[in-house]
Structure 1
Amino acid sequence: MKDLKTGGRFGAHLREVLADTSAFDRHREANLRPEVLAELGEKIERTGVKYIYFAVATLGARTVAKVVPAEHYKRMLGKGIAFHRTALTDLQTSREGELIGGGIDAHEFWGLPEPETFQQLPWDPELGRIFCTAYDPPHLGKDGGRLIPLDTRALLRVAHQGFTERTGLELRSGLEPEMTWRGPGLEVIAKDDQSPAYQVENLEKMRPIFKKVISYGQFLDFNMIQGDYEDDGQIELNWEYDKAEITAQRMTTYRQICKQVARELGVEASFMAKPYNGKMGNGCHHNLSLWRGDENVVEDGRVELHATETARNAIAGMLLHTPGSMLVMGSTVNSYKRYWDAGQFAPSGADWGLDTRGVAIRISANGRMEYRLPDASVNPYLSHIYLLASIEHGLEAALDPGDPGQPTPEIADVVVPNTLGMAIDAFEADEYLMGAMPEELTRIFLQLKRDEWARYCGQITQWEFDQYWEAIP
């Protein structure tokens, strides 16, 4: 594929979208249409919502929001919600004291509400939520009115639109968010070397938790489909797959649901990638399929497990760019402890296979590619953006992954980072992905991750003390 350094057509499209200074005005005009105002007003009145969270997704996969009395919704639709720009980078200060993402003098951004995302929250019927898109304010002149690339939720939406326009395909995904709960009554007793997975007695201990999580999810239009107990305090609850941006939004909402349930039940809920040694980490497998209208092109009717030619091209793209995307898929220092703990079903190489759990991409059922590298702390908007770029490269260049266990030389040479430091280097070294993504996004993401790695490297751990305090002569 030509123009690797510029990220091909994927990168060109995003640069064009992000240069559009009329984006804010078009969004505001759409918000103020009489039928839009009337529809949102009717929903607010019908549900009885009195307070609304106007929310924006951050680069670190969190949600920031302001709460506004519901009667001011018309004003918010036209004016937007002002946040300090560094809210998009989680208001993180570097070790040197710099507020990452612009510093204390950074200008505000305006979050324009998306009225179609209004939902009443199930744990308090007087509370609602609306997602917003982040823009540079129009008053900034020639730089104003643009979509901010640090708003990964909005960036996924436009990236997916461009991908579909160029390929004719839509990416659909279903996630498997594992997470760990702890608190009174959740302790597990098991024989040595025996897994507590699937046992109904352990599910029973989690019954108050999964009942609330499932019911809250259903209230918020999740089609909850199944769940299981996997390791000490670890459960996985799944919902039906959908378009990538819908699935990603549900993942961030799912985290909020779980944190709320934990508060109500007096327990703790964590999406930390690897809480314990010798126990399974919290993965977030992405089950991916590509659709042309109502046709899943990863499926062709054969009964035996297989990958279609389109799926093989997509798999090759994802595997080739595994090193460059690992900083997104495993975004914390702790993420890489998941890959080091042998025998816990976490992949560590750029390989693929048919119904085997030790590979990066698994074909467990025809029509679905299970990408197993992301963990539960992942920013799902960002992971899907990087997967879209990688898949498009694979499709356009007709890349070949080889057969399971017999990779092509190009794929066989891929080395997957196994520390955050290595992932930072690999992220920068991938010319295609660096060219495909907005410069501001990669620059600030790197600044955040370098700071995190430096903080970790500068810590003296108990392991070091135990190893070296007495042992060094």
Structure 2
Amino acid sequence: MDKQRDFVLRTIEERGVKFVRLWFTDVVGTLKSVAIAPAEVEGAFTEGIGFDGSAIEGLSRTSESDLLAFPDPTTFQLLPWRGDIDPTARMFCDISTPDGAPAVADPRNVLKRTLEKAADRGFTFYTHPEIEFYLLKSAKFGPEGPEPVDNAGYFDNVPGGTAHDFRRRSVRMLEDLGISVEFSHHEVGPGQNEIDLRYADALATADNIMTFRTVIKEVAIEQGVYATFMPKPFSEHPGSGMHTHLSLFEGEKNAFYEPGAQYQLSKIGRQFVAGLLRHAQEISAVTNQFVNSYKRIWGGDEAPSFVSWGHNNRSALVRVPLYKPNKGQSARVEYRAIDSASNPYLAFALLLAAGLKGIEEGYELPAEAENNVWELSDAERRALGYDPLPTSLDAAIQYMEESELVADTLGEQVFNYVLANKRAEWRGYRAQVTKFELDRNLGIL
């Protein structure tokens, strides 16, 4: 760590860095930032930067408001959109109390705690997200709703189009930040795009997702458009998910791979999937944390609505994808419910905790869904044991309230804050009178 700190201090001096932004997130997943002068960085490493935690959503109680942000030198990167004008760098921070203990409500610490539990069992947790978002002409919209930048579709090549140039610029900027991109393409919806990050350990991936969102927003501003990670901005077009591939490694060995097993998925892999399925309803208020998230889940267009798993079955909640022949290290499972507006630190912590619970308790994997789950009748789904995911944020809250797994993983303070925050959102949503109600009822009642 000392070598990494020395590297940061030397780079700041050699590159003429004028500002260093210290980043962390609140419990909802909003990025927070404080800029410090280069002369303050060395002190920040050893003593932290103090701030009022009670002013940050869910981070501390008013009576315990003093917190310290300690920059993680391994996350140091120059911000490419700043260019050569006042060069600026960033580092993610770990949040501590004045006595040096990790802040229990720091989302990054929640994930680190869960990763440590996995490490105690010999596992390293890797994730690979496929992040979808919409490009709009503006954040403002009229009676017809938001206006996408194009009318292109899945994998369409639009020479000279906004999305093509946007993705090229974004990928270049992400690579400049040390974030490896695997694929980028136009998605199904008009103005909808997807950029897939290369797999990395879960903490690095969560940091990368927070950086990714910032990059996408910055490039959008630069190009005169607006980018949104809202799960379902259009009722008639697909929502934006963040399908995430998951794998556990034991040292250099992929713990999900077993030659000769069905789909080459090991017993550990099967138990991990069983854990994801059994606890999917309980973790939905975090993996799908907004009222709008459930418009995506129940809006069709390949969003998973029922708790099931399948091999290459895109209607299932958990998919066991094909992998390249003779490449057992690529064995993985894909969780398809999570959306790109989630707090990645909390979401990854709960996905890992659910999978580990399946391994610890020896959960049995239910029968595979071989048919299109959406095309089955309700009676057929019940007979096959395909329980529905929560149909609303209110239903997700009720599942979470009863979940010992979520409470233990998040810790009391984060657990209670998430519930309070989501209840407040649901109350506000439930109280409104919508255009749908007025159009449908005002003229006849």
Q: For the superposition of Structure 1 and Structure 2, which TM-score range results when normalised by the shorter chain?
A: 0.7 to 0.9
User: Residues 436 and 183 of structure 1: is their aligned pair in 2 closer, same or farther, counting only changes over 3 Å?
Assistant: closer
1:159 maps to a residue whose letter is T
Residue 320 of structure 1 aligns to a residue whose secondary structure is helix
1:102 maps to a residue whose letter is R
Matches within 5 A, 1:437-452: 437-452=410-425
State the partner residue of 1:372: 336
CA contact (8 A) 1:316 1:411 kept: no
Alpha-carbon distance, 1:240 to partner: 0.9
**Take 1:443 and 1:431, find their aligned partners in 2: how far apart are those partners?**
13
**Take 2:243 and 2:346, find their aligned partners in 1: how far apart are those partners?**
14
Match of 1:41 among 2, 5, 9: 9
Answer yes or no: is 1:55 the counterpart of 2:23.
yes
Deviations 1:231-285 (A, max 9, x none): 2101101121011111111011000000110111110000000010121100001
**Take 1:201 and 1:186, find their aligned partners in 2: how far apart are those partners?**
14
Matches within 5 A, 1:279-298: 279-298=237-256
Deviations 1:163-205 (A, max 9, x none): 1212x11111100110000128964347xxxxx2111127844
User: Residues 347 and 36 of structure 1: is their aligned pair in 2 closer, same or farther, counting only changes over 3 Å?
Assistant: closer
State the partner residue of 2:236: 278
State the partner residue of 1:74: 42
State the partner residue of 1:65: 33
With CA pairs under 8 Å and 6+ residues apart, which has the higher RCO, 1 or 2? 1
Deviations 1:31-90 (A, max 9, x none): xx6x56533221111222110111112111121111111122122223322222134417
State the partner residue of 1:216: 173
Match of 1:228 among 185, 200, 210: 185
Matches within 5 A, 1:187-266: 187-189=149-151, 196-201=153-158, 204-230=161-187, 231-266=189-224
Alpha-carbon distance, 1:421 to partner: 0.3
CA contact (8 A) 1:346 1:373 kept: yes
> RMSD between aligned alpha carbons?
2.5
Match of 1:176 among 127, 130, 133: 130
CA contact (8 A) 2:317 2:335 kept: yes
1:274 maps to a residue whose letter is K
State the partner residue of 1:357: 314
User: Residues 411 and 433 of structure 1: is their aligned pair in 2 closer, same or farther, counting only changes over 3 Å?
Assistant: farther
Residue 306 of structure 2 aligns to a residue whose secondary structure is coil
State the partner residue of 1:393: 357
User: Residues 112 and 273 of structure 1: is their aligned pair in 2 closer, same or farther, counting only changes over 3 Å?
Assistant: same
State the partner residue of 1:469: 442
Match of 1:130 among 75, 91, 94: 91
1:471 maps to a residue whose letter is I
Deviations 1:338-361 (A, max 9, x none): 02213x000011100011111100
Matches within 5 A, 1:427-438: 427-438=400-411
**Take 1:212 and 1:301, find their aligned partners in 2: how far apart are those partners?**
41
CA contact (8 A) 2:297 2:337 kept: no
Residue 300 of structure 1 aligns to a residue whose secondary structure is coil
Unaligned residue ranges in structure 2 (runs of 5+): 139-146, 324-330, 371-379
Answer yes or no: is 1:402 the counterpart of 2:361.
no
State the partner residue of 2:288: 330
User: Residues 394 and 202 of structure 1: is their aligned pair in 2 closer, same or farther, counting only changes over 3 Å?
Assistant: farther
User: Residues 135 and 227 of structure 1: is their aligned pair in 2 closer, same or farther, counting only changes over 3 Å?
Assistant: same
Residue 384 of structure 1 aligns to a residue whose secondary structure is helix
CA contact (8 A) 1:306 1:354 kept: no
1:252 maps to a residue whose letter is M
CA contact (8 A) 2:316 2:369 kept: no
State the partner residue of 2:144: none
Deviations 1:353-398 (A, max 9, x none): 0111111001122411000010110111111100111111100111
State the partner residue of 1:153: 108
**Take 2:151 and 2:199, find their aligned partners in 1: how far apart are those partners?**
34
Deviations 1:276-332 (A, max 9, x none): 012110000110111111111212245974532211100100100011100011100
Match of 2:225 among 267, 270, 281: 267
State the partner residue of 2:328: none
Residue 43 of structure 1 aligns to a residue whose secondary structure is helix
Residue 284 of structure 1 aligns to a residue whose secondary structure is coil
**Take 1:454 and 1:101, find their aligned partners in 2: how far apart are those partners?**
23
**Take 2:344 and 2:23, find their aligned partners in 1: how far apart are those partners?**
16
User: Residues 467 and 203 of structure 1: is their aligned pair in 2 closer, same or farther, counting only changes over 3 Å?
Assistant: farther
User: Residues 423 and 255 of structure 1: is their aligned pair in 2 closer, same or farther, counting only changes over 3 Å?
Assistant: same
**Take 2:64 and 2:268, find their aligned partners in 1: how far apart are those partners?**
45
Normalised by the size of structure 1, how large is the TM-score? 0.83
**Take 1:118 and 1:440, find their aligned partners in 2: how far apart are those partners?**
29
**Take 2:18 and 2:113, find their aligned partners in 1: how far apart are those partners?**
32
Unaligned residue ranges in structure 1 (runs of 5+): 1-29, 91-99, 139-144, 191-195
Residue 321 of structure 2 aligns to a residue whose secondary structure is strand
State the partner residue of 1:456: 429
1:188 maps to a residue whose letter is D
User: Residues 60 and 87 of structure 1: is their aligned pair in 2 closer, same or farther, counting only changes over 3 Å?
Assistant: farther
State the partner residue of 1:10: none
CA contact (8 A) 1:188 1:202 kept: no
Deviates more, 1:233-242 or 1:293-302: 293-302
